[in-house]
Structure 1
Amino acid sequence: MSILVNRATRIVVHGLGDEAGRRHATACREYGQGKRCVVAGVVAGGSVHRFDGIPVFESVAEARAATGANACMVHDDAERAGAAIDEAAEAGMPLIVCVGNGVPAASLARAADALRRGGTRLLGPGCAGVMTPDEVRIGNLPGEAPQRGRIGVILRSPALLAEVARQFRQHGLGASTVVSLSDPCRAGLSHLELLQLFEADAGTDAVLLAGPIDDESEAACAAWIATHLRKPLIGWIADSGPAASQRARLAACGAHMTHELASLGTLTASVVEPQWLPFD
């Protein structure tokens, strides 16, 4: 009843040898069922063998074979992140979340073939991550998480998460999954692909889009929303500048739009009646 991640997700942290990687691995372990979900780390060269009870391996392939991991968080610096994405894809990892920024385009191009061959989904690079509330988080999404519910959330700016969570709680709403996209979406999952995943998810009743869609995929998203999206779409997009025309186009497709973040909760509650499932 979510997309991309849930309580069955088993995570390898690539870059556990760095202080930032260890810090974010600890934060992921402390959220929800993270102690069960974060199962391994990868540090090239074998300089680290264990971190806070987590076994550390020299490669993603070794870590996956030993632990059954099905997701990889890449927290290496920009120069090493491209190779880490390629390595995780070659190991057949179904999901890669790259929170590192500034990955060279040439590195992403080299990893593209491995991603396609293995059917691997890449979120990022340069994203804040993904979470299914109360269950699992991959990445460094800031602030307090929303409660669990049935609204899929796509964030262009992770800074909006705390306000979305506050308004959801105020109106008795919750999120099925929260996904933060990089700006711009250069290589990984796009707005359109996430909309398609949420449309197919039985645990999602509506989708909240916070922030504009990439210019290059705006037309494709609008066409798909108009012809395929059966669930309500609620959007917060600025009412001025380049985003204004996009806001008008999405509204013409039937999306419920606002340019005031403070009205998101009221708008969402008026479109979607809160519903809950026995998740446990």
Structure 2
Amino acid sequence: MSIFLNKDSKVIVQGITGGEATKHTALMLKAGTQIVGGVNARKAGTTVSHVNNEGHAVQLPVYGSVAEAMEKTGADVSIAFVPPKFAKDAIIEAIDAEIPLLVVITEGIPVQDTAYAWAYNVDHGNKTRIIGPNCPGIITPDEALVGITPATITGKGPIGLVSKSGTLT
């Protein structure tokens, strides 16, 4: 059973060319997540190479904005792997694009930036469900992972888990 995320969810990765995003994009693909592209305004028009859960090479397109990525791919989920100083802008961009689900992994975002982004979402119709910041993400076992939770520690069943903290220990 899934509530927010399933095997049909189309995911984009904000900051896809960064180190943490690269590592976790590979793990999310291995978990079966349907990642359809990424966002990095400075590297728009390029691709990044990964291997999916079936062992096939995939080329993920990099777009200049969340709105463009949604338009081209039909994405309905975004995960933000961006440094704290860029997180507020990344969240606002996702809200402006009206992505239905946004997961923000980033820790260390100034409280004022987080409060501003949440208020901005409310002021703009609350069309984006935000999970985070500083969280391990969301997983539907055996279907999709959007975040940093190890897929190997979960299994199908009637229980869901939400963590207030990004710490997994």
**Unmatched runs of 5 consecutive residues or more in structure 2:** 50-58
Residue type of the partner of 2:39?
A: V
Q: 1:46 pairs with 22, 43, 46, which one? A: 43
The structure 1 segments of at least 4 consecutive aligned residues displaced by more than 6 Å after TM superposition are none
- The Cα shift of 1:139 comes to 0.6
Instruction: Give distance in 2, aligned partners of 1:80 and 1:17.
Output: 14
Q: 1:112 pairs with 110, 118, 125, which one? A: 118
Task: Indicate the structure (1 or 2) with the bigger Cα radius of gyration.
Answer: 1
Instruction: Give distance in 1, aligned partners of 2:28 and 2:151.
Output: 13
Tell me which protein shows more helix as a share of its residues.
1
Instruction: Give distance in 2, aligned partners of 1:127 and 1:156.
Output: 6
Structure 1 residues 155 and 114, CA gap change in structure 2 (3 angstroms)? closer
- The Cα shift of 1:4 comes to 1.2
Deviations, residues 143-179 of structure 1 (Å, cap 9, x unaligned): 723221222223456536xxxxxxxxxxxxxxxxxxx
Q: 2:100 pairs with 81, 85, 94, which one? A: 94
8 A Cα contact 2:76 2:101, kept in partner: yes
8 A Cα contact 1:90 1:118, kept in partner: no
Instruction: Give distance in 1, aligned partners of 2:129 and 2:89.
Output: 16
Instruction: Give distance in 1, aligned partners of 2:41 and 2:117.
Output: 18
Instruction: Give distance in 2, aligned partners of 1:84 and 1:154.
Output: 22
Structure 1 residues 143 and 64, CA gap change in structure 2 (3 angstroms)? closer
Q: Calculate the TM-score normalised by the size of structure 1.
A: 0.53
Q: 1:125 pairs with 127, 133, 140, which one? A: 133
Q: What's the C-alpha RMSD, in Å, of the aligned pairs?
A: 1.8
8 A Cα contact 2:145 2:151, kept in partner: no
Residue type of the partner of 1:159?
A: L
Q: Relative contact order (alpha carbons < 8 A, sep ≥ 6): 1 or 2 greater? A: 2
- The Cα shift of 1:114 comes to 3.7
Q: Which residue does the alignment assign to 2:52?
A: none
Secondary structure of the residue aligned to 1:159 is coil
Q: 2:168 pairs with 144, 159, 166, which one? A: 159
8 A Cα contact 1:6 1:132, kept in partner: yes
Structure 1 residues 146 and 91, CA gap change in structure 2 (3 angstroms)? same
Q: Calculate the TM-score normalised by the size of structure 2.
A: 0.85
Deviations, residues 89-139 of structure 1 (Å, cap 9, x unaligned): 110001110111011123223322442224211111000111000000011
Structure 1 residues 166-177: aligned runs within 5 Å: none
Q: Which residue does the alignment assign to 2:56?
A: none
The sequence identity of aligned pairs, in percent, is: 32
